[in-house]
Amino acid sequence: MPTKEMKQLLFKSIDEIGKLYRKKEVSPVEITEMTFARLNELEPKLNAFTTVLSDQALANARVAELAFVKGENVSKLFGIPVSLKDIFMTKGIRTSLGSRILKDFVPEEDAFVYKALQEAGAIIIGKNNMLEFAYGSVHPDYGQCNNPWNINRTAGGSSTGSAASVAAGIGFASIGTDTGGSIRVPASFCGIVGLKPTYETVSRQGVFPLSDSLDHVGPLTRTVRDNAIVLEQISSRQFNFKSLFSGDIRGVKVGFIRSLTDTIANSEVSHLTSSAIEKLKDLGAQLLDVQIPGIETIEGTALPIVLAEASTYHKNWYETREKDYGKNTYANLREGYMVSAVSYLEAMEKKKLFTQAVDQVLKQVDVLLCPTVPYPATDKDPSFEDGNIDISQRTIPFNVTGHPAITVSAGNTVSENLPIGLQIIGRYYDEDTVYRVADAFQQSTGGYRQPPL
């Protein structure tokens, strides 16, 4: 088992580990072995992985070690242990989607993201536990993924294991998917950084769809700067974010969506959000109250889109595999088949109009700001079937519009020491400003906080 000092290496940034590799002060093999030791120590408590790829990862780590010994010019992710949600196709490796139906499914293709990580030389350590088909609740065969801040709480969903593993120091990044908040909600619950980039910035090729109109792919990391490094490697667009991270956000116009905060019942979330606003003001940002017509109810517009589109992808199993679905997942699919064509098309029209409304507001400000989730991690995964739809009220609007949105920790509650997320939303293809503001905030508040686990 790694010593306390060795464990701290697992919480360093991607850039810091890369520098240690280049100085030959630590090797990819050592870091990968430490990562698996950490995984074996914590996995029974967290339940963050469906598949662990130790043999493959260690073989790739040895290749990476040799490249650093030779002084080869390699990518920023070269030799860095990462994981990915078990929704990405991986040729020759089981891809379960957290379901019984696909428990033995081995694809014959690789997802774009998996290939991009391999080409960058990342060490892929495993595939993460997730809500069944990324659709609202965990399947009992796999069990809930627990939160490293309190293992009696959920890590959030649907990218559950991705958030829990990164927060706990099992890998330096993970790739998730986000249809209504499935990257940002677990990142908020676990106190890490989760980005839903602009729609289709990261290819969804080889990702089992939930809702084609709303699905996004993005990275989960402990720091904003690590997040940018990963996005550079997996994006279908060219990025280079390094020059952004000066900490200077003087003059940046931040539009605070007050209607999404004033309705929050949890006083600690409200307090941490108010403190975050004051911090941004101290950093020189210009805070403005903004109104976005219909944002409080847009979730109701998104619902028929998700329901109808999701059910389309399950038509081959719905009639014959009812008992193999989790109860809530099957109920959602049943609802989807009841959505009329008229309701679906009306929702798509409202989606277009709401997107135009958000665009208009973003002409007045550089980014938008609101809490990510109205409360800290809950005991179990909230689900639509249980009536807990407020969990995505602040995240799903930007799946509807496709704008980039990031969550970064605003601090922890005093009562239970659980993280609270702050969400920053930007204009289309302006991940630069989103990252710049999020990084300045994270740096000014002391950076990533390590859970007690």
Q: Inform me whether the pLDDT recorded for 389 exceeds 80.
A: no
> How is 377-397 classified by DSSP, letter by letter?
--SS---GGGT--GGGTTTTH
**Which pLDDT does position 136 carry in this prediction?**
76
For the full predicted model, state whether its pTM sits above 0.95.
Answer: yes
**Which pLDDT does position 4 carry in this prediction?**
74
Token pair listed for 453: 């686990």
Q: Residue 239's Cα: distance from chain center in Å?
A: 19
Number of Cβ within 10 Å of residue 150's Cβ equals: 18
User: Among candidates 72, 58, 73, 54, which has minimal Cα distance to 28?
Assistant: 58
**27-63 pLDDT, tens digit each:** 999 999 999 999 999 999 999 999 999 999 999 999 9
Q: Which residue carries 């595999």 as its tokens? A: 321
Q: Inform me whether the pLDDT recorded for 89 exceeds 70.
A: yes
Q: Looking at residues 136-161, what average pLDDT do you find?
A: 96
User: Among candidates 6, 1, 17, 5, which has minimal Cα distance to 172?
Assistant: 17
Lowest-confidence segment of 162-176, 291-305, 387-401 by average pLDDT: 387-401
**Which pLDDT does position 447 carry in this prediction?**
95
State how beta strands 216-221 and 286-290 pair.
Answer: unpaired
Residue 327's φ and ψ, nearest 5 degrees, are -55, -50
Q: Looking at residues 185-204, what average pLDDT do you find?
A: 98
Distance CA 260, CA 443 (A): 25
CATH 3.40.47.10 at 4-300+339-444, yes or no: no
Q: Which residue carries 């989730």 as its tokens? A: 373
**Which pLDDT does position 383 carry in this prediction?**
58
**Which pLDDT does position 241 carry in this prediction?**
73
Is 422:437 a contact under the CB 8 Å cutoff? Answer: no
**91-126 pLDDT, tens digit each:** 999 999 999 999 999 999 999 999 999 999 999 999
State how beta strands 193-196 and 216-221 pair.
Answer: antiparallel
User: Which amino acids are annotated catalytic?
Assistant: 85, 158, 182
3-state secondary structure of 179: coil
Q: Looking at residues 210-228, what average pLDDT do you find?
A: 98
3-state secondary structure of 255: strand
Is 107:63 a contact under the CB 8 Å cutoff? Answer: no
Q: Whole-number mean pLDDT of the chain?
A: 95
Q: Inform me whether the pLDDT recorded for 194 exceeds 80.
A: yes
- Residue 295 neighbours by CB under 8 Å, 6+ apart: 257, 259, 260, 354, 358, 397
